[in-house]
Amino acid sequence: MDNAIEEIKNRLNIVEVIGSYIKLSKTGANFRAVCPFHSEKKPSFFVSPARQIWHCFGCAKGGDIFGFVREIEGVEFGDALKILAQKAGVELKPISQELKTERNRLYEICEWAARFFEKQLEESNAGKEAKKYLLGRGMSEDSIKNWRVGYAPDVWQGLSDFLASAGYKKEEIEKAGLGLTSERGSFYDRFRGRIIFPVFDLNSQVVGFGGRVFKEKDKTEIAKYVNTPNTLLYDKSRVLYGLNGAKLDIRKKDACVLVEGYTDVIMLSQAGFQNVVATSGTALTPFQLKILKRYSENILTAFDMDVAGDSATKRGIGLAQTMGFNIKVLLMPENSDPADIIAKNPSDWEKISENAKSILSFYFDTTFSRQDSKSPEGKKAISKVLLPVIKRIPNSIERSFWVQELARKIGVKEEAVTEELKKVKLSEDALGLEPEEIVNLPSKSRKELLEERLTALILRSPENFNLLSKDDLELFSPQISQVIGCFQKNKSLDKLNTRALATGKDEPLGSLPPELVGLANYLSLKSEIEEEEIDAEAEFKDCLREFRCLEIKNKLEKISKDIKSAEDEKKLGELGKLIQEFNDCSKTLNDFENII
Ligand SMILES: [Zn+2]
């Protein structure tokens, strides 16, 4: 495996790989771009061909080609490896039969099942009837083929017999969610007499199925929807239908349209609107939102939004709001879904998209149209619906705007609204979401930032190193001082790159442990992308002064605490010593701060 990774890295150039996804422009020895992983206007995403790494100085993401493909395609390492192996023309050795995991077997079963259903739709009589129904609803032959729509025959053991003959055990078929054992012990197919929509993972492998009835009489007599239960491969709280095909388009358009049904996704995509996904019969979950966030923070919803109730849909949207998504609502004519609209006239959809309303405006308009904003009861009812929605807005300026708006429209003082807003408890508090799931940018401490800046300035002008005292060096984190040490020894970080390290050909790197190569690469890239004209020495002195002051301030804080506890415990001898120490420190701080 390591050989394959090395081989792929040797054959591919990071600039070409990343350049096939986003537009790069050359700047000095490196390339830069607007980061595809966070929203920004000024490009802070850099690619270094010399080191074969990328790094975003805005959101702190970075790594090698594998990391980039994982991040942009939203796939696991194994899948990134497959994608890049194909690009590089490197053949990955097949995994031996014994090593095939349970997962692999389940993937195979799902793939066979999808083929079985597709064939049934094309060839069986009932299947042809189902296909006629789909075509009649406006779905094209191409869409049926691309989305691999199929038909499950109306028999008890159609698929399961087929899979058994292909060598799969009943237990495996059951684990894939395709068969069930009755109370009497007989084994039967889960999907019978239904149109089948395979559900794909991010890598376009079939992981589950959704079955829909289509005959009029069935619609009233049996369950309209049957879906794969949660299996090793399929977790409905994580899957978003259509994301495998939509992800790059979502990123390109920086917006994701959320619909309810599978047919909505297919019909919209057929009409050229590809940035569309459907939840699999659940309200939006934190998992789905986290996945979506990799691609865009803008959501357009195209489903029934009940404003007043406390439905799962509303909670999901609330959660998205809390997680910092910008949400707009597509206003559709009553009793119609996107699939109907597209079937009738695709250009209607464009009009609907153009008239999307922000979630706040939508909630405001709907709520005010339903309540009497003049009566005290009406005012109370309105605020009961709108306050939680306002409370979820992460940006305080935007939040304060809507507070003012609400106060103005119901004719009360802003303070009264602010007061009530404090009392509102949000439902996602009860979901037990960790704060870091809501805010996800890593933040570095001032000390860490200064450390990095100082190191980058040393890399840029090595003579800066001589300005550091022995005490200063002790203040650096062990990792960073190791990188500085290595650099001092070699006087050139140009030779520092992961490729050289991995092959072990480049001697100077011998002194740097592999886990620090990433940090060294990041810091040297940082030193390269700095503006050309700065006075590296003056800049270094400024940073060093702040770095030293920060340390003394921390020390002072600690001494103050010790003084406080010495006073509490009446340790007078110690107290005198501490006060002396405090005064010395303050004097040093004063001296430092006055040096220019
Ligand atoms: Zn970024």
For the stretch 94-103, pLDDT in tens is: 655 544 678 8
Give the per-residue pLDDT at 432: 41
Residue 241 has pLDDT above 90, yes or no: yes
N- to C-terminal Cα separation, the chain: 56
> How long a stretch of residues is the chain?
596
Cα(401) to ligand 1 centroid in Å equals: 28
Residue 585: left (phi > 0), alpha (psi -120 to 50), or beta?
alpha
Residue 275 has pLDDT above 80, yes or no: yes
For residues 28-36, average pLDDT: 88
Cα(45) to ligand 1 centroid in Å equals: 6
Handedness of CA 299, 303, 309, 312 (dihedral sign): negative
Cα(549) to ligand 1 centroid in Å equals: 31
Q: Kindly write down the DSSP assignment for every residue of 490-547, as one continuous string.
A: HS-STT--HHHHHHT--GGGGGS-GGGHHHHHHHHHHHHHS-TT--HHHHHHHHHHHH
Q: Residue 358 in 3-state DSSP? A: strand
Amino acid at 455: T
Cα(439) to ligand 1 centroid in Å equals: 15
Cα(319) to ligand 1 centroid in Å equals: 23
Cα(477) to ligand 1 centroid in Å equals: 25
Cα(527) to ligand 1 centroid in Å equals: 18
Cα(104) to ligand 1 centroid in Å equals: 34
Give the per-residue pLDDT at 471: 84
Fold exhibited by the domain 2-88: DNA Primase; Chain A (3.90.580)
Handedness of CA 324, 253, 63, 245 (dihedral sign): positive
Cα(54) to ligand 1 centroid in Å equals: 10
Residue 399 has pLDDT above 70, yes or no: yes
Give the per-residue pLDDT at 122: 96
Residue 586 has pLDDT above 60, yes or no: yes
- Work out the pLDDT band at 15, boundaries 50, 70, 90: very high
For residues 233-242, average pLDDT: 89
Residue 133 has pLDDT above 90, yes or no: yes
**Apex CA 451: angle with CA 448 and CA 453, to 5°?**
110
Report the C-alpha gap between 20 and 27 in whole angstroms.
Answer: 18
Report the C-alpha gap between 330 and 315 in whole angstroms.
Answer: 18
Cα(137) to ligand 1 centroid in Å equals: 43
For residues 408-434, average pLDDT: 78
- Work out the pLDDT band at 41, boundaries 50, 70, 90: confident
Mean pLDDT, rounded, of the chain: 84
Determine how β-strand 256-259 pairs with β-strand 298-301.
Answer: parallel
Cα(340) to ligand 1 centroid in Å equals: 39
Cα(125) to ligand 1 centroid in Å equals: 54
- For residue 395 the two structure tokens come to 């940006």
Contact by Cβ (8 Å): 35, 41: no
Amino acid at 492: S
Backbone angles phi, psi at 284, to 5 degrees: -55, 135
Segment 52-87, tens digit of pLDDT: 899 988 888 888 999 999 888 878 788 888 889 988
Backbone angles phi, psi at 224, to 5 degrees: -70, -40
Cα(148) to ligand 1 centroid in Å equals: 36
Cα(40) to ligand 1 centroid in Å equals: 8
Cα(73) to ligand 1 centroid in Å equals: 15
Q: Which of 22-31, 88-97, 131-140, 551-560 has the lowest mean pLDDT?
A: 88-97
Residue 35 has pLDDT above 80, yes or no: yes
Query: DSSP letter at 51?
Result: T
Cα(63) to ligand 1 centroid in Å equals: 12
Give the per-residue pLDDT at 505: 42
Cα(302) to ligand 1 centroid in Å equals: 29
Cα(306) to ligand 1 centroid in Å equals: 35
Residue 433 has pLDDT above 70, yes or no: no
Report the C-alpha gap between 480 and 497 in whole angstroms.
Answer: 17
Give the per-residue pLDDT at 149: 98
Q: Do domains 2-88 and 250-423 have the same CATH topology?
A: no
Q: To which H or E segment does residue 314 belong?
A: helix 312-322
Helix axes 243-253, 286-293, angle to 10 degrees: 50
Cα(282) to ligand 1 centroid in Å equals: 31
Domain residue limits, the chain:
2-88, 100-227, 250-423, 446-590
- For residue 210 the two structure tokens come to 């959704």
Cα(583) to ligand 1 centroid in Å equals: 45
Cα(62) to ligand 1 centroid in Å equals: 9
Report the C-alpha gap between 592 and 571 in whole angstroms.
Answer: 31
- Of the chain, the percentage scoring pLDDT greater than 90 comes to 38
Specify which residues 25 forms β-bridges with: 32
CATH architecture of 250-423: 3-Layer(aba) Sandwich (3.40)
Q: Residue 240 in 3-state DSSP? A: strand
Give the per-residue pLDDT at 491: 58
Cα(250) to ligand 1 centroid in Å equals: 17
Residue 430 has pLDDT above 50, yes or no: no
Residue 209 has pLDDT above 60, yes or no: yes
Cα(213) to ligand 1 centroid in Å equals: 45
Give the per-residue pLDDT at 427: 62
Cα(33) to ligand 1 centroid in Å equals: 10
Cα(289) to ligand 1 centroid in Å equals: 18
Cα(376) to ligand 1 centroid in Å equals: 48
Residue 506 has pLDDT above 50, yes or no: no
Report the C-alpha gap between 444 and 453 in whole angstroms.
Answer: 12
Q: To which H or E segment does residue 53 belong?
A: strand 53-56
Q: How many CB atoms lie within 10 A of CB 23?
A: 11
Cα(520) to ligand 1 centroid in Å equals: 19
Cα(547) to ligand 1 centroid in Å equals: 26
| Closest to 386 in 3D by CA, of 375, 404, 376 | 404
Cα(55) to ligand 1 centroid in Å equals: 8
CATH architecture of 100-227: Alpha-Beta Complex (3.90)
| Closest to 228 in 3D by CA, of 215, 241, 216, 218 | 241
Cα(44) to ligand 1 centroid in Å equals: 7
Residue 443 has pLDDT above 70, yes or no: no
Determine how β-strand 53-56 pairs with β-strand 62-63.
Answer: antiparallel
Cα(64) to ligand 1 centroid in Å equals: 15
Buried b (16+ CB within 10 A) or exposed e, 206-241: bbbbbbbbbeeeeeeeeeeebbbeebebbbbebbbb
Give the per-residue pLDDT at 587: 87
Contact by Cβ (8 Å): 400, 391: no
Cα(202) to ligand 1 centroid in Å equals: 22
Cα(70) to ligand 1 centroid in Å equals: 15
Residue 510 has pLDDT above 70, yes or no: no
Segment 547-576, tens digit of pLDDT: 888 888 888 989 999 898 888 888 888 888
- Of the chain, the percentage scoring pLDDT greater than 70 comes to 89
- For residue 446 the two structure tokens come to 């001032």
For residues 193-210, average pLDDT: 93
**Apex CA 188: angle with CA 184 and CA 194, to 5°?**
140
Cα(30) to ligand 1 centroid in Å equals: 16
Give the per-residue pLDDT at 585: 87
Chain centroid, CA 325 distance in Å: 11
Cα(449) to ligand 1 centroid in Å equals: 17
Cα(272) to ligand 1 centroid in Å equals: 29
Helix axes 517-529, 478-490, angle to 10 degrees: 70
Q: Which of 158-172, 273-287, 488-502 has the lowest mean pLDDT?
A: 488-502
Report the C-alpha gap between 334 and 575 in whole angstroms.
Answer: 77
For residues 89-113, average pLDDT: 78
**CB proximity list for 44: less than 8 A, separation 6 or greater:** 32, 35, 56, 57, 58
Give the per-residue pLDDT at 431: 46
Backbone angles phi, psi at 268, to 5 degrees: -65, -40
For residues 311-336, average pLDDT: 84
Cα(188) to ligand 1 centroid in Å equals: 50
- Work out the pLDDT band at 173, boundaries 50, 70, 90: very high
The CA radius of gyration of the chain, in Å to the nearest whole number, is: 30
Q: Which of 68-72, 366-370, 471-475 has the lowest mean pLDDT?
A: 471-475
Rounded to whole angstroms, what are the CA distances from 154 to 190, 193, 288, 489? 11, 4, 33, 75
Residue 499 has pLDDT above 50, yes or no: no
Residue 236 has pLDDT above 70, yes or no: yes
Give the per-residue pLDDT at 172: 92
Residue 220 has pLDDT above 80, yes or no: no
Cα(109) to ligand 1 centroid in Å equals: 39
- Work out the pLDDT band at 310, boundaries 50, 70, 90: low
Rounded to whole angstroms, what are the CA distances from 365 to 233, 279, 307, 322? 42, 26, 10, 21
Q: Kindly write down the DSSP assignment for every residue of 553-575, as one continuous string.
A: HHHHHHHHHHHHHHHHTT-HHHH
Q: Which residue has the higher pLDDT, 579 or 443?
A: 579
